[in-house]
């Protein structure tokens, strides 16, 4: 629903994600109510103001519908039960320790912080495109929290807020180069610091520096492949979610690809790093939750 997306976009939601196929706003239940309550109020106020009927379901998600009748409740419960049984049988793998419903975890890499000395006072704001960068920076310097933070997507924004950072902007496009162009439109003539991993695939710094924004880089962590004692063999017809080029590299160091497997890529940039014999399906948004949804769709 294009109209619904246009209505919700100004709210800058990070804890609720709109699913146009199901016509509901799904709550990220990994966060407590004191994080999510403000967004709930903003959403319900906006929907009411636009004369859009809704109700809150048993999962605390916001359903766009005329009424929550007994029939609708029974229908949703039946569909949910059938889906739960079906989804449990799927072998969906996330290649990190991030917990997402219906997915199994197979961590193939480790994060190693790289301690740096930096004077944040010379910068107008900090750029984050990875939650790992925020966690790594926070291990050796807490003063970053005083600076405005520009986060590429809701998943990164949540960590900024969780650690007490000063979240000022969340990207809409959720991809590196497009995120840089969003910053260009909003923050001309600033001096920014891009806090990142030792290896990145986007061209953020170059895009900003050629568009009247001075941008430096600060490398705060590196990704290292986990050593496995022996090759891992996954079940036939498994669906594997790849969230970065590093997960592709580390996966193939330890696991042989089977032609029955399906690959999900978290974004277009990551998709470019797959071997030529594998064509991944691109997730709708750059979040692991969205990747798992796409995996379920493929296997339904």
Instruction: Write out the two tokens for 27.
Output: 């709550």
> pLDDT of 187-198, one tens digit each?
999 999 999 999
CA distance 35 to 29: 10
Instruction: Write out the two tokens for 20.
Output: 């146009």
Instruction: Write out the two tokens for 273.
Output: 């790093």
Instruction: Write out the two tokens for 93.
Output: 């793998």
Please state, rounded to an integer, the average pLDDT across all residues of the chain: 90
- Res. 154: pLDDT tops 80: yes
Q: Mean pLDDT over residues 9-30, rounded?
A: 90
Q: What values do phi and psi take at 16, rounded to 5? A: -115, 135
Residue listed under structure tokens 């950072």: 165
pLDDT of res. 19: 86
DSSP 280: P
What is the full DSSP assignment across 221-255?
EEEEEPP-SS-B-PPTT-EEEE-SHHHHHHHHHHB
The burial of 233, by beta-carbon neighbours within 10 Å (0-12 exposed, 13-18 middle, 19 or more buried), is given as exposed
Identity of the highest mean pLDDT range in 10-19, 170-179, 223-232: 10-19
> pLDDT of 187-236, one tens digit each?
999 999 999 999 888 899 999 999 999 999 999 999 999 988 888 899 99
Question: Which residues face 16 on adjacent strands?
Answer: 27
pLDDT of res. 84: 62
Which domains, and CATH codes, for the chain? Answer: 2-83 (no CATH), 90-108+226-299 (3.40.50.10090), 111-224 (3.40.50.10090)
% pLDDT > 70, the chain: 92
- Res. 74: pLDDT tops 60: no
pLDDT of res. 75: 59
Q: Mean pLDDT over residues 27-41, rounded?
A: 93
> pLDDT of 103-147, one tens digit each?
999 999 999 999 999 999 999 999 999 999 999 999 999 999 999
Residue 290 CA, chain-centre distance (Å), reads 8
């Amino acid at each position: 629903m294009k109209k619904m997306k246009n209505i919700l976009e100004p709210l800058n939601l990070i804890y609720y994600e709109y699913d146009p196929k199901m016509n509901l706003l799904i709550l990220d239940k990994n966060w407590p109510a004191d994080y999510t309550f403000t967004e709930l109020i903003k959403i319900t106020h906006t929907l009411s103001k636009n004369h859009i009927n809704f109700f809150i379901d048993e999962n605390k998600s916001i359903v766009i519908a005329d009424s929550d009748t007994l029939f609708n409740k029974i229908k949703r419960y039946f569909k949910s039960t059938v889906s739960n049984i079906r989804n449990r049988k799927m072998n969906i793998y996330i290649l990190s320790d991030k917990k997402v419903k219906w997915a199994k975890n197979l961590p193939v890499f480790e994060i190693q912080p790289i301690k740096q000395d930096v004077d944040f006072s010379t910068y107008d704001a900090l750029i984050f495109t990875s939650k790992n960068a925020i966690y790594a920076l926070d291990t050796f310097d807490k003063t970053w929290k005083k600076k405005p933070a520009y986060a590429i997507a809701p998943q990164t924004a949540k960590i900024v807020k969780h650690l007490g950072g000063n979240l000022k902007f969340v990207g809409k496009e959720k991809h590196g180069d497009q995120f840089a162009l969003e910053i260009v439109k909003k923050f001309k003539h600033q001096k920014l610091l891009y806090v990142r991993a030792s290896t990145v695939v986007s061209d953020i710094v170059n895009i900003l520096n050629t568009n009247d924004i001075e941008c430096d880089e600060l490398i705060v962590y590196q990704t290292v492949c986990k050593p496995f004692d022996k090759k891992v063999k996954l079940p036939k017809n498994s669906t594997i979610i790849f969230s970065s080029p590093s997960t592709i590299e580390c996966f193939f160091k330890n696991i042989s690809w089977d032609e029955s497997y399906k690959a999900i890529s978290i974004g277009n940039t990551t998709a470019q790093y797959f071997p030529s014999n594998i064509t991944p399906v691109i997730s709708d948004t750059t979040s692991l939750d969205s990747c798992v949804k796409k995996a379920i769709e493929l296997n339904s």
